[in-house]
Chains A and B, each alone.
Chain A
Amino acid sequence: MNAITPITTTLKDWESDQEVRWCPGCGDYAILKAVQRTLPDLGLDPAKTVFVSGIGCSSRFPYYMATYGFHTIHGRAPAFATGIKLSNPELDVWLVTGDGDGMSIGGNHTFHLIRRNVNLQIMLFNNEIYGLTKGQYSPTSRVGTNSPTSPLGSVDRPASPCAFALGAGGRFIARGFDVSKNLPDVLKAAHAHQGAAFVEIFQNCIVYNKDVFEDFAAPKGAEDRQLWLANGEPMLFAKGTQGIALDSEKLTLKVVDVVDGDWQGAGVIVHDVTNRSVAHMLVEMPFGPFPMALGVIYDDPRPTYEGELLSQDEKAREGKNTDLARLLAKGQTWTVEA
């Protein structure tokens, strides 16, 4: 349903005239550039593109895009986006949210947007902190996070956005991070997916949660700590010396050593983006004992919500008389003679 004829644009065509107001060094800058670099490659038309956001640092995103943009209220962007898609399915809608906006105050709407499978892209910037309100812990903050509202360290268990999205019935689940060179490819895959495409983007909040993702995102040693998934490819990392295999007794994933490139011999799983069971294991795979699963974790489209709903409506309209006078005079009537 998205742009049919590719349009030729450059990165400049996607930059609005507004001054970007994020903190210097914020991960959001890198994500903004990645998006602005990706959209020309997709041949999209800025006039048919809408960025919708809630409230938070990430939600200022629409102001910096030279597209249509709607900066709505805290947590509710999914509901606004649903109304937009149901009213004009031709619009290409990108939803920008954060871990507080999308997982806390708006968790309900995020759930239903994914459950219904509205055809749009969801970019959830996860910095594991409330930035715009000055550093309180968020629903994705790790246990023990010190913050103004958790001076002794937070005790709540963090939520995993990808596990949440998959549990909501998500048909496209992917992960990336702000400065990753692979982010544009992840976004392209999300855009190609028909339906609600959920992308968690780890984002470095340099003021309130600096370098919280360094353990896997730092360039040095990244090979050992990042598992970039590719459909049809074995799940290898550490320069191919390690891989992910299935522990068939415990029905869990395990890390195996790969000797001399014999990944088949080591039982390394070949990534199948349509395998929902493996997707569940990948989104739950704990970082530390395992590398961070990145890239497209799951991609198995099914009919979109607006496609189903609007075609049902169209069918209901077929051959129906639309005369208003007839509608008003429905039911049992009587006539008073003059």
Chain B
Amino acid sequence: MATQLAEPEVRTSNAPEAVVVRFAGDSGDGMQLTGGQFTLSTALSGNDLATFPDFPAEIRAPQGTLFGVSAFQINFGSTEIDTAGDAPDVLVAMNPAALKTNVQALKPGGLIIADTGEFTKRNLEKAKYEVSPIDDGSLAKWNVLAFDISALTLESVKPFGLGNKEALRCKNMWTLGLALWMFDRDRAPLIEWLQNKFKKNPVLAEANIAALNAGHAYGETAEIGGQLHKTHLDPVPSPAGLYRTVTGAEAVALGLVVGTQLTGLKMFFGGYPITPASSILHYLAGMKEYGVTTFQAEDEIAAIASAIGASYAGHLGVTSSSGPGIALKGEAMGLAVMTELPLVIINSQRGGPSTGLPTKTEQSDLYQAVYGRNGDTPMPVIAARSPSDAFECAIEACRIATQYMTPVILLTDGYIANAAEPWKVPDVTAYKPFPVQFLQQPNGPDGTLLPYARDEKGARPWIKPGTPGLMHRIGGIEKNPGTGNLDYSPAAHQAMTDARHDKVNGVAKGIPAQEVTLGDTKGKLAVVGWGSSYGPILQAVRRARAKGLDVSHVHVRHIWPLPENLGDLLRGYEKIIVPEMNTGQFKTVLRDQFLVDARPLNKTSGQPFTIAEIEAAIEGALA
């Protein structure tokens, strides 16, 4: 198999440090499941990893079609892994359509494993192949290992008397078995998982286990002339501790639970189903015992409105969506800003305007988050850079929301939401609580109540309805700076606009100074990123630095307000490039805030950056 290294310049031995495998098949072939289980086995073997699930928006697209292909890519190795890898070393293609849509990404010399049982005339036609690519020499630059996985699977599950359709469904386990053999993995955890998954149908469990074992045995015994061989990747040296894998959606849910507990409050989560954000609601719906109430609202507006209602009543209100749903929530966000109630809003960004690319990833909602509301409506915005970082960011969002009495937007994206990575389980006792104090007594002179008096951070008191003697009215109309009573006067609007603005700007005083992620605090070039382009930027900068280039990586979590030292830091570099999966949104914010000559590097294909793309931009900038 291909043994080309992800990082050739740091190659130290003949064994690969990292391998990229892509499983591709029909959306009904169970590729996400196969990928997920391969991920788990990779994690258990101690390799570092990053994954990229890439699937169509259709749940079960017509079988065999090009648009129905579902893929799962994993990059794993015995060194630190930050991206799902640029080009795969191995492509498992379960049908002609999967081959066609994925083969161009494969590294020259890479290995194709194809199920010839699916390369029928009909399937070739559906994939727009006139002749089978296996036979016509068009795959010459790759190693092709084509055999009838379908038939081998049917053979292996014969004793269980399944119908043909059911028997063929075991194909993914057969393939997984082969992959486990290829990378020297233990089958036991998978067998245990299958027994558990098919607890109610032991025959199916046994059949799937038999397919898994058969795939494994095939690797062990088949004589395939050196194309297929076993590769062992040593565990990556990691800090000692307990590990698990985590996706961004899980990490957000867990971070919200921990963050809410650090406030001492209960959480109310109002949500409405939308791809790729729904899984946060799914996870939280199963965490009731941690003081969570979830509410599936009738629409996006009701989801945020119920969450604001909950915050008004003294819970921490949280809502989550993706771009189009966030657009619907805009007016309610304005009310949360106006009434100065805490609220956490998570946007798992997807691609494009309108419905766009529901299952693909993009970072194109930054303007929407920072600027996208009527009036001067400032709101803190933070962005997670990876699945595990989403945990920390969710806690940070809870802190800012409650400490500053403000809605906060947390940006993740489709990639972070679905991708998995190993995660060192954090020690919850290490997080400092930030308990909320509700106002219990009148806070004004002579026993008067001032719901819009401000503390040193500019935050107003949080007053729970039901508290005796503190009855008051709030709403979306401009108000008197102290009493909160309706006040349209010029002085009141000026004062309140300033107060809201100053309060949100003041959040910058309570956040860490911007650090350089990799490299030096000054130099020829800074690559400034935010969100999920963290992995490819970090790897590209690492490679460029290994080549001796003067380049540094600055990755920003706090998008609004920006860290106070960021402007000075950026001015220390001769050039700045900002890779983003949009047409240049963060670049514009940086230019506006600091008058620096930030240059864009944009990609809007619905796919994450490759390391090579960013590396090329670095070399171009320094040429």
* A positions within 8 Å CB-CB of B: 16, 18, 46-48, 50, 52, 62-63, 65-73, 76, 78-84, 86-88, 90-91, 108-109, 111-112, 309-310, 313, 316-317, 320-322, 324-325, 327-338
Contact = CB atoms under 8 A, between A and B. Distances in A.
B313 A81 contact: no
6 contacts: A47-B469, A73-B334, A83-B295, A87-B310, A313-B288, A332-B244
Contacts of B467: 47
A80 B313 CA distance: 10
A107 to B, nearest CB: 11
Interface string B236-247: 001111111100
Given A313-B288, A316-B288, A329-B242, A87 B302 contact: no
A108 B299 contact: yes
A79 B306 contact: yes
A69 B428 CA distance: 38
Q: Enumerate the 10 nearest inter-chain pairs by beta-carbon distance, A residue then B residue, closest first.
A: A83-B309, A71-B475, A83-B306, A79-B305, A69-B473, A79-B302, A338-B240, A320-B289, A68-B465, A87-B313
A65 B312 CA distance: 18
A328 B465 contact: no
Interface in B304-320: 305-315, 317
A333 B289 contact: no
Contacts of A46: 471
B473 A324 contact: no
Contact of A328 (B235, B332, B425): B425
Nearest to B286: A316
A338 B429 CA distance: 21
A11 to B, nearest CB: 16
B290 A82 contact: no
A87 B268 contact: yes
Given A313-B293, A316-B288, A317-B288, A324 B257 contact: yes
Nearest to A80: B309
B238 A70 contact: no
Given A73-B331, A83-B307, A83-B313, A336 B425 contact: no
Contacts of B270: 79, 83
Given A71-B476, A334-B243, A310 B254 contact: no
Contacts of B468: 47
Interface stretch (B39-47, B152-160, B570-578): B39-47
Given A71-B475, A91-B465, A316-B288, A332 B309 contact: no
Given A69-B473, A86-B268, A108-B298, A91 B305 contact: no
B485 interface: yes
Contacts of B339: 70
Nearest to B236: A336
B473 A322 contact: no
Interface in B397-433: 425-429
Given A79-B306, A80-B309, A62 B476 contact: no
A86 B310 CA distance: 7
A44 B334 CA distance: 33
B472 interface: yes
B474 interface: yes
A116 to B, nearest CB: 9
Contacts of B616: none
B306 A86 contact: yes
Contacts of A68: 465-466, 471-473
B475 A70 contact: yes
Contacts of B474: 69-71
Contact of B473 (A71, A332, A335): A71
Nearest to B244: A333
Interface string B278-301: 000000000111110101011101
Contact of A87 (B240, B254, B309): B309
Interface string B480-504: 0000011000000000000000000
B65 interface: no
A336 B242 CA distance: 6
B295 A82 contact: yes
B477 interface: yes
Interface of B: 40, 43-44, 46, 189, 235, 238-245, 254, 257-258, 261, 266, 268, 270, 287-291, 293, 295, 297-299, 301-303, 305-315, 317, 331-332, 334-335, 339, 425-429, 464-477, 485-486
A18 B486 contact: yes
B50 to A, nearest CB: 17
A63 B425 CA distance: 49
B306 A16 contact: no
Nearest to B429: A325
Contacts of A87: 266, 268, 293, 309-310, 313-315
Contacts of A322: 289-291
Interface-central residue, B295, B428, B468, by most chain A CB under 10 Å: B295
A91 B466 contact: yes
Given A79-B309, A82-B302, A335 B335 contact: no
Contacts of B485: 18, 63
A80 B288 contact: no
B289 A316 contact: yes
Given A70-B474, A90-B466, A332 B331 contact: no
Contact of A83 (B43, B258, B268): B268
B13 to A, nearest CB: 22
Contacts of B290: 322, 324, 327
A328 B426 contact: yes
Given A80-B312, A328-B426, A88 B257 contact: no
A68 B301 CA distance: 23
B325 to A, nearest CB: 14
Contacts of B293: 86-87, 309-310, 313
Contacts of B470: 47
Contact of B312 (A66, A70, A76, A310): A70
Nearest to B45: A334
A334 B43 contact: yes
A282 to B, nearest CB: 28
Nearest to B237: A336
A71 B486 CA distance: 11
Given A62-B473, A87-B309, A321-B289, 5 more contacts: A47-B468, A71-B477, A76-B301, A79-B297, A313-B293
Nearest to A313: B288
B242 A76 contact: no
B301 A84 contact: no
A328 B268 CA distance: 20
B473 A16 contact: yes
B313 A88 contact: yes
Nearest to A317: B289
Contacts of A69: 471-475
B310 A84 contact: yes
B465 A332 contact: no
A322 to B, nearest CB: 5
A46 B469 CA distance: 9
A16 B472 CA distance: 9
Contacts of A63: 473, 475, 485-486
Contacts of B43: 332, 334
Contacts of A333: 242-244, 425
Given A82-B306, A84-B313, A317-B289, A336 B40 contact: no
A134 to B, nearest CB: 18
Given A84-B465, A88-B466, A327 B254 contact: yes
A52 to B, nearest CB: 8
A80 B343 CA distance: 13
